[in-house]
A and B are shown apart, each in its own frame.
Chain A
Amino acid sequence: MTGYEGADLAIALINVVLLGLLFVVAIAIARMRSLFAIVMLSSIYSLISATWFVALDAVDVAFTEAAVGAGISTALLLGAMLLTSRTAKPEPRKFAIVPLLVCIATGLILVYATIDLPAFGDPDSPANTYVGTDYIERTPEEIGVPNIVTAVLASYRGFDTLGETGVVFSAALAVILLLGFGERSLSASIGRRKGGKE
């Protein structure tokens, strides 16, 4: 089934390296106090996970994660940081015990649940057999578009995507309601600069 010998090993190695990098970045974010470093590291986290999406054959998701996670959300986080503060207050204790215990317990329960999950890359798993294969088989005949993700996104699940577009639009409306359009505050800052030191 696999193309050639050694491909599995190469993929396993890529997985280990990328997941290790993700771990390093995530732990660094949990321990950092400089918000600027945290924002930059979260951008790096998105970029590494985008790389891993490519290794998992999800090119469209990788593209979106690289553009959205590493691009827009970093710009928004920096913009919000500029309006709030530079550093986080140090936590009173080195490790917060209760959250740590809650996280470990939740993690152990989730690991226990993975014992029943199908193996990584299993072609016969329930997630990969029914509707997913149907989309792959029917797309050339019914839609005539090579990129199956586009076909499912825009045509088979077009109603779903309409809802997602509505969510993005209403999020923009919510931000505008909370922060204003931007023009008024801009003119205020220009006026202040003119009246101020310059």
Chain B
Amino acid sequence: MRTDHHIILRVVAKPLIPIIALFALYVQFHGDYSPGGGFQAGVIIAVAVILYALIFGISPAMRAVPPAFTRSLAAIGFLLYAGVGVWALLMGGNFLDYDALFNEADGGHHGQHYGILLVELGVLFAVAGSMLSIFYAFAGRVTEIKDEDW
């Protein structure tokens, strides 16, 4: 068996990856109160998977998070964002007018809160899915340069 040059990386990365994913969820759902939001959380989730792919190889990463899933995720996120707008339209408001979502009285913030939550979730899905699809497209390509050329 060949020697494993990356043993330290593997040992350090293994506990780190779930923490990165957890931090992404914190950034996502605490984004109303602190810096953060869908864009940042989506990128952080993508980074967690990319770290896994860099250290454990691209095929285990593709088995864990299949490319078909990432590109569907991007489309679902975009549709979720647009869907919130259509929901507001159906409730009689303007496109993406969150106040119309629940037809509540003046001063109520439920529509705004749920609207922002859903829209940020859509951004999270779209950004994470797009970034991972882009990474897979680059990483899955056959390298023409040999390792010795480094």
Any chain B CB within 8 A of the CB of A47?
no
**A137 interface hit (Cβ, 8 Å):** no
Q: In the complex, what residues of A have CB within 8 A of residue B100's CB? A: none
What is the interface residue range for chain A against chain B?
35 or more
B81 to chain A: closest CB distance in Å? 6
B33-48 Cβ-contact flags toward A at 8 Å (1 or 0):
1111111100110110
Is A166 part of the contact surface with B, judged by Cβ < 8 Å? yes
Q: Mark A172-196, 1 if CB is under 8 A from B, else 0.
A: 1001101111111110111010000
Measured between alpha carbons, how far is A166 from B123 in the docked complex, in Å? 10
Please, which residues of chain A bring their CB within 8 A of the CB of B81? 161-162, 165
B31 to chain A, nearest CB (A): 5
A72 contacts B137, C-beta separation under 8 Å: no
Contact B138 A76 (CB under 8 A): yes
- Does A147 touch B at the CB level, under 8 Å? yes
Residues of B within 8 A of A190 (CB): 59
Cβ of B3 within 8 Å of any chain A Cβ, yes or no, is no
Task: Judge if A80 is at the interface, Cβ distance under 8 Å.
Answer: yes
Contact of B71 among A151, A168, A176 (CB under 8 A): A176
Tell me the bound Cα distance from A79 to B71 in angstroms. Answer: 19
Q: In the complex where A75-B50, A169-B75, A172-B134 touch, is A183 in contact with B143 (Cβ < 8 A)?
A: no
Enumerate 12 A-B pairs (CB-CB under 8 Å) in ascending A order. Answer: A64-B39, A64-B43, A146-B32, A155-B112, A155-B115, A161-B81, A165-B77, A172-B130, A172-B134, A176-B71, A179-B138, A183-B67
A144 B144 Cβ-Cβ under 8 A: no
Question: How many residues on chain B are close to A (CB under 8 Å)?
Answer: 61
The answer to whether A83 and B140 have CB atoms under 8 Å apart is no
Mark B101-140 against chain A: 1 for CB-CB distance below 8 A, else 0.
Answer: 0000000010011011001101100110111011111111
Which of B95, B116, B134 contacts A150, CB < 8 Å?
B116
A86 at the A/B interface (Cβ < 8 Å)? yes
> Can you name the residue of chain B whose Cβ is closest to the Cβ of A154?
B116
Q: Are A83 and B32 in contact (CB under 8 A)?
A: no
- The answer for the CA separation of A181 and B135 in the assembled complex, in Å, is 10
Digitize A78-106: 1 where CB-to-B-CB distance is under 8 Å, 0 elsewhere.
01101101100000000000000000000
Q: Is the CB of B35 within 8 A of A155?
A: no
